[in-house]
Amino acid sequence: MTRALTLTAALLAALSTAASAVTYPLTLTDDLGRKVTIKAEPKRIVSALPSTSETLCAIGACDKLVGVDDYTDYPAQAARLPKVGGLYNPNFEAMIALKPDLVIISKYGKLEPTLTQAGIPVLAINPETYDEVFSKTLTLGKVVNREAQAKALVTTMKRDIAKVEILTKNAVRKPTAYYEIDPTPYSIGPNSFMGVLLTKAGARNIIPASMGDFPKVDPEFIVKQSPQLILGVDAKTAGARPGWTSIAALKTGKTQTIPAELGNILSRPGPRLPQALRGLAKIIHPELFK
């Protein structure tokens, strides 16, 4: 899969000579609701989100990155770049020292005011729903003058996702499932990008859309729903929680932790979405991948 992504990135980079150029200044509305004008094609970008770093590299713009957040660890070219802190512990001095002409941030945290005050252009791009993963990829492509590459990447991602769906849509059983992303506990709503992946992987999410995309869940709700499958929690931890031994998944041994690497990929709304789906589907329906 890694080799395939590398080859895809190389192909997308080759498209740059054939792509029609984006016209600058470019004005767009970011995910903070601000009108942002990018005066010229960015050459020195700091990415404050791993998914942004991965997407930029996947559309042939890795060479534009001069710094990344502490959690960017893929691809290797981006992982080697200077680190500028995390969402809630940013290193503003490190960012400013890199002399970026654009910093791409999350809509969460408090990066924007300080960077704007320092005269650094800031753009908030934060995909949360499944459809936004693709639309924001196209937005990034436009921002960095890689529109053709972004469109090609979206096409490839959707094709690879469809290949997994062909397998899972005919699964004999589609268990009800609870996916835990944090022991608080936080989970995933059906309209979040992770929630859509859970459905496409052949499970039925117990979290209703009314709770939001990444809701904090009352443990009693989980007990009442009694999901047939619990993901992200080991049996010992789940069994130690009040009332959880009555949950169907605990009775049948259907609790499953998520391998660290897969969990990492699953949490990032970026170009490795198809890889995340395949990994999740293999956990839920191993019989389909024999």
227-248 per-residue burial string, b: 16 or more CB within 10 A, e: under 16: bbbbbbbebeebeebeebeebe
pLDDT, tens digit, for every residue of 104-122? 999 998 899 999 999 999 9
pLDDT, tens digit, for every residue of 243-257? 999 999 999 999 999
pLDDT higher than 60, residue 1: no
* CATH architecture, range 2-156: 3-Layer(aba) Sandwich (3.40)
In the prediction, which pLDDT does 170 show? 86
Helices 147-168 and 2-14: angle between axes, nearest 10 degrees: 150
Q: Domain boundaries in the chain?
A: 2-156, 171-289
Classify domain 171-289 at the CATH superfamily level.
Answer: Nitrogenase molybdenum iron protein domain (3.40.50.1980)
Residue 22 Cα to chain centre, angstroms: 26
pLDDT, tens digit, for every residue of 213-249? 999 999 999 999 999 999 999 999 999 999 999 999 9
Please tell me if the domain spanning 2-156 has the same topology as the one spanning 171-289: yes
